[in-house]
Structure 1
Amino acid sequence: MDEVEKISITVCGDGGCGKSSITLRLVRSQWTSEYDPTIEDSYSVTRTIDGRSHLLMLTDTAGQEEYRGLWAASNLQSDAFLLVYDITNAASLDALDYFMEMIEMETDRRLDEGGVPPVKIVAGNKCDLQSQRMVRSQQGLEWARNRKCGYMETSAREMVNIEETFALLIRRVVEARKLQATGGVAPVDNRTKALTPPSDPEKPKTTIDPSKVNKRRNDNFWSKLKCW
């Protein structure tokens, strides 16, 4: 029997952006509309990706400013970070700067020591609330690009891109570890291949070179919420 590979993931972001909802959707396949501020919760769940089992050790961290000082050093030791903001709250995207600053310092430390830099993916959550959107998809995408992160839009309520986001985190961690094991240089740039960015209803659709896009023949709205 193949050994289960362990991967630690820290979920961070401003209070109320849906970190716990995303985590519980993955772990328990449930969603709740009640907001209960989290100081810190830990979960574990197994997922099989590309034929191999992975034990995900998830840490759902505090987002409120009064709790951020409680961020344990162990949180920064994670293999990957999921930085979550709320597309209906522009301030929640700005709040990611605090977490990104700490993650970038940790990235520099690992590189100086010859370690594997952490994988980083930004998730614009609550994409089901299109009528309340305050952060355009392109804004979130550019924020992630400028900080060398992957990008997704998610909905814990509608179970949109939850499994896909964590599958992507797993694949990026596995790739970085393989490079390290073979003497290669693990990429600092954890961005994913540029696919069709999620469409904003108020913004004209951007023309993209078909040869560079993985197209799915599906007119469903949710199929447009691709990963970058």
Structure 2
Amino acid sequence: MAAASSQPPVPISITICGDGGCGKSSITLRLVRSQWTSEYDPTIEDSYSITRRIDGVVYHLSLTDTAGQEEYRGMWASSNLGADAFLLVYDITSRESLDALQYFNDLIDMEAETRLDNAARARRAGLNPSSPTAGSPVDINGGAGSGAKTIAPIKIVAGNKCDLQESRQVPAAVGLEWARRRGCGFMETSARLEVNIEETFALIVRRVVESRRMAEMGGMVGGDGGDFKAGMTKPLSPLLTTSSDDEKRGPGQRGPNIDGQKRVGGRGHGGFWKKLRCW
């Protein structure tokens, strides 16, 4: 225990992207400062650093909250694409915000292909692709750097504003299928009610750690029949829910009662929501 506590925090970089007004900054500020505001102030780019203990390990998370408006997208710096993971956020009350994620997904996939090419060249040269000598700034205990990375980034899609059920335009099943087709993990979140915020970033950390470990062990990015090599995440077990709608929200619970109604995804919704918590 003493040895574990003396270890420096493990660095992980995360870029948060998506259309303007989908709640990227709200998610970020809810995580970093436990704050939420209904005022919309378009972001060009903001950076934050926090530490979190996940599965007994302390991580230093470097978060980049990027511009969503189309006129600002050209300002995306190469450093944004150098992240270990990407959180692609859309607004469940706007189908257009989900469609807008395709732009960012294409950029990330091109970056992933570049990293996999770097890994292939390293292997042909007889090097471990995850070794710094292969040009990668990442090892199992390392984080983001400025070299030629060889581990494909993790992609997680977050359907934000899941508290606005009465205005929903994107069913959860549609968001999940969009994510699956593009090799992304999937969550639904609410920055306003603090639903699945910590859980989403814990999921990102676990997937980054998993991909680093697989690269260390086998010199490969993944092992799911080639799909995982492009940054795909594996299906996840459902998150735990509490047994009563009157109980306090526990980790992984979809959220508190909304205007006197049952919780989003809680008991009484049945069908799809009884099965889905995250993927």
Does the pair score TM above 0.5? Answer: yes
Change (3 A) 1:217 1:40: closer
How far is the alpha carbon of 1:183 from its aligned partner? Answer: 2.4
Q: CA–CA distance in 2 between the matches of 1:194 and 1:58?
A: 24
- Check whether the contact 1:13–1:92 (CA below 8 A) recurs between aligned residues: yes
Alignment match, 1:134 = 169
Alignment match, 1:147 = 182
Overall identity of the aligned pairs, in %: 63
| 1:19 matches 2:24 | yes
Mark the runs of 5 or more structure 1 residues left unpaired by the alignment: 197-213
TM value normalised by structure 1: 0.88
Aligned residues: 211
TM value normalised by structure 2: 0.73
Alignment match, 2:233 = 191
Alignment match, 1:227 = 278
| 1:102 matches 2:107 | yes
Q: Deviations over 1:1-34 (max 9, x none)?
A: 0121000000000000000000000000010000
Q: Deviations over 1:142-168 (max 9, x none)?
A: 000000100000000000000000000
Q: CA–CA distance in 1 between the matches of 2:60 and 2:236?
A: 28
How far is the alpha carbon of 1:185 from its aligned partner? Answer: 1.8
Q: CA–CA distance in 2 between the matches of 1:4 and 1:72?
A: 26
How far is the alpha carbon of 1:192 from its aligned partner? Answer: 3.6
- Check whether the contact 2:207–2:233 (CA below 8 A) recurs between aligned residues: no
Q: Deviations over 1:129-188 (max 9, x none)?
A: 000000010110000000010000000000000000000000000111111112242222
If asked which structure has higher relative contact order (CA below 8 Å, sep 6+), I would say 1
- 2:177 counterpart letter in structure 1: E
Residue pairs, 1:26-175, within 5 angstroms: 26-114=31-119, 115-175=150-210
Q: CA RMSD in A?
A: 1.5
- Check whether the contact 1:42–1:57 (CA below 8 A) recurs between aligned residues: yes
- Check whether the contact 1:172–1:190 (CA below 8 A) recurs between aligned residues: no
Q: Deviations over 1:183-225 (max 9, x none)?
A: 24222253242556xxxxxxxxxxxxxxxxx664535424556
For the residue of structure 2 that corresponds to 1:73, the secondary structure is coil
